[in-house]
Amino acid sequence: MCNLYSLTKGQAAIRELTRSMVDRTGNMPPMPGIFPDYPAPIVRNNGGEREIALVRWGMPSSKKALFEAAKKRAAALQKKGKAVDFAELLRMEPDGGTTNIRNVSSAHWKPWLGVESRCVVPFTSFSEYERGPDGKFSPTWFAIDEGRPLAVFAGLWTTWAGVRKIKTGWEDGVEVFGFLTTEPNAVVAPVHPKAMPVILTEPDEIEIWLTAPWDEAKTLQRPLPDDRLVVVARGASRDGLAPAD
């Protein structure tokens, strides 16, 4: 599961690769370490325009997952002798968000497969966690090549309402995104044998993902060829920039 990636190329490069017409991100600094629930740029269709916008990373979790989590919390509270309003408990169940999307045939994802909910997520490198000789996990970073050129993940976005964290409470009208994964290629598999992000590197692929009917767009959910990806770094939680002083 990819839960950390980097974007160190500027807005001009994003506009050029994705053919974006509108940039709503303001003065966007390099982002050498993007984590779940962070705001990050996506490119999406908005009416007749293709825009770059800052959106939070983490699509809504399934109703089933939230229901099961609320049931566990209710059982724990009842065990302590506390009264439970299950409907309210379920409404306020924290949804940490779904960062990676694999099973697009699931009924949960079907409302967001149309072109109005598709996006691409710019990146320059992404990481998967690898267990070291000491038993601890640390990031291994992958990129198109050592120069870390810009590419994008194939993603989905929506507007969400709910609770992400108990301390922040209910949030309304929050724009969120996630990106698709697929089986890993031979470069990623030794580190993470379950999955890798769906990566698009060509403007024509981006055009298909953002504009084509689903039957055509879904063919892009496939691993990047082995010769198009390399390991560029290990161990750091940031990539693509010199470490901060």
Angle at alpha carbon of residue 134, lines to 132 and 140, rounded to 5°: 20
Alpha carbons 122 and 24: distance in angstroms, whole number: 15
3-state DSSP assignment of residue 84: coil
Where do the domains of the chain lie? 5-60+95-234, 62-94
Q: pLDDT tens, position by position, for the chain (245 residues)? A: 799 999 999 999 999 999 999 999 988 999 999 999 999 999 999 888 999 999 999 999 998 989 998 899 899 888 888 888 889 888 889 999 999 999 999 999 999 999 999 999 999 999 999 887 888 889 999 999 999 999 999 999 999 999 998 888 999 999 999 999 999 999 999 999 999 999 999 999 999 999 999 999 999 999 999 999 999 999 999 998 754 33
Residue 214's H or E segment, with its range, is: helix 214-217
Identify which of 14, 114, 111 has the alpha carbon closest to the alpha carbon of residue 59. Answer: 111
Angle at alpha carbon of residue 104, lines to 226 and 112, rounded to 5°: 120
Domain 5-60+95-234, CATH number (from 3.90.1680.10, 1.10.4160.10, 3.40.718.10, 3.30.460.10) = 3.90.1680.10
Residue 134 has what pLDDT? 80
Q: What is the pTM of this model?
A: 0.93
Residue 42's H or E segment, with its range, is: strand 39-46
Residues in CB range of 148: below 8 A, 6 or more apart = 6, 8, 9, 124, 125, 232, 239, 240
